[in-house]
Amino acid sequence: MSKHPRIPDIAQLSGVSTATVDRVLNQRAGVRSATVQRVMQAAISLGYLPQAEAQATLQAQPQPLRLMVLIPEGSNRFLQMLGDVIGYAQEHWAPFNVRCQAAYIESFNPDALAKALLHHGKRCDGIAFMALEHPVVREAVAQLAEQGVPTVTLISDLSSSRRAAYVGLDNRAAGRTAGYLIARFMGPLALSRNARVAMIVGSLRYRAHEEREAGFLHLFEEQFPLVQVVGVREGQDDAERNYQQARSLLEQHPDLAGIYNIGGGAEGIGRALKEAGLEHKVVFIGHGLTPDTRALLIDGTMDAVITQNPLGAVMNCVRIFANLRDGRDATSGVEATRSQVIFRENLP
């Protein structure tokens, strides 16, 4: 160390870069509070700053933005992965001076969702949530907006609401993509024989599932009008319910050529196909790359999975809330969510 301490000396003692030391000393955002504390302690111990000045700098640091992500509880593995990401990836949004937590709420219950929104709105600076299309949810979002608590819809949007932004796929395009994949996997022979395909959704209370269904139907109406879509069944993202729904479909339509799983619980459909000996005959497309859908892709039961990056989705939410805090446009610097189509051959 030199006789007269310099920024490199502080960086060496605190174990950070000189750029980080410069950010802390000049009170610029983007440094974790624990790192700020370590840098200031090093500056004091080296005599670079008097203790009173260092304490004043510490007290001037803005409090982290408190964010909550509400996640429907249940057996949807992709949503479980989303909650896990929030738990272990705090360092990714620390530069935004944000603290992010996950809370699990009852699935498919708009009253429970509205209650959770208002409850956490008293303690948080922003809430991201998977929306259910219902007036009580829309009203809760409006109340939070009046109180200055912004909300971001995640994966599934909320129409005619005061939410600040939506983070997720273009779900109508996702449904069209699923329809196109099923048609191409079925091949021209099946398409010319009035083939039947089916859909299983989590719940049509989710706008995302409703839009995926609409995109799927429109694709077949426009491009493959001979294919019969034999209806949509709700499985509540539950593997056992999806198993029962798939078994019923296969019994009712023994010539079924394809199944589109719009929500979670793909393993239940896979089990029904395997029991019927149809795992390599019925085209099976679904959503969300999880350990279960990965296994189904590997053994050939599923043909493709349409997915999005859970960490990227949370990061986009964090960026939006940080933009709102800093007076920028909500979506400034936020990239549109991109869908990925995963096959067995390109598994990451």
Q: Give burial (CB, 10 Å; 0-12/13-18/19+) of 222.
A: exposed
Residue with tokens 């593995």: 77
pLDDT tens sequence across 280-326: 999 999 999 999 999 999 999 999 999 999 999 999 999 999 999 98
3-12, 29-38, 90-99, 173-182: which has the highest mean pLDDT?
Answer: 173-182
Give the 3-state secondary structure of residue 99: strand
Overall size of the chain counted in residues = 348
**Mean pLDDT along residues 48-63:** 70
pLDDT tens sequence across 61-104: 667 899 999 999 988 899 999 999 998 888 888 788 889 999 99
Model confidence at 348: pLDDT above 80: yes
Supply the pLDDT for residue 222: 95
pLDDT band at 3 (very low <50, low <70, confident <90, very high): low
Supply the pLDDT for residue 168: 96
Rounded CA-CA distance 115/35 in Å is 37
Rounded CA-CA distance 119/129 in Å is 13
Rounded CA-CA distance 64/87 in Å is 17
pLDDT tens sequence across 202-257: 999 999 999 999 999 999 999 999 999 998 899 999 999 999 999 999 999 999 99
Rounded CA-CA distance 73/67 in Å is 19
**Mind listing the domains of the chain with CATH numbers?**
7-60 (1.10.260), 65-168+310-337 (3.40.50.2300), 171-307 (3.40.50.2300)
**Between 194 and 215, the higher pLDDT residue:** 215
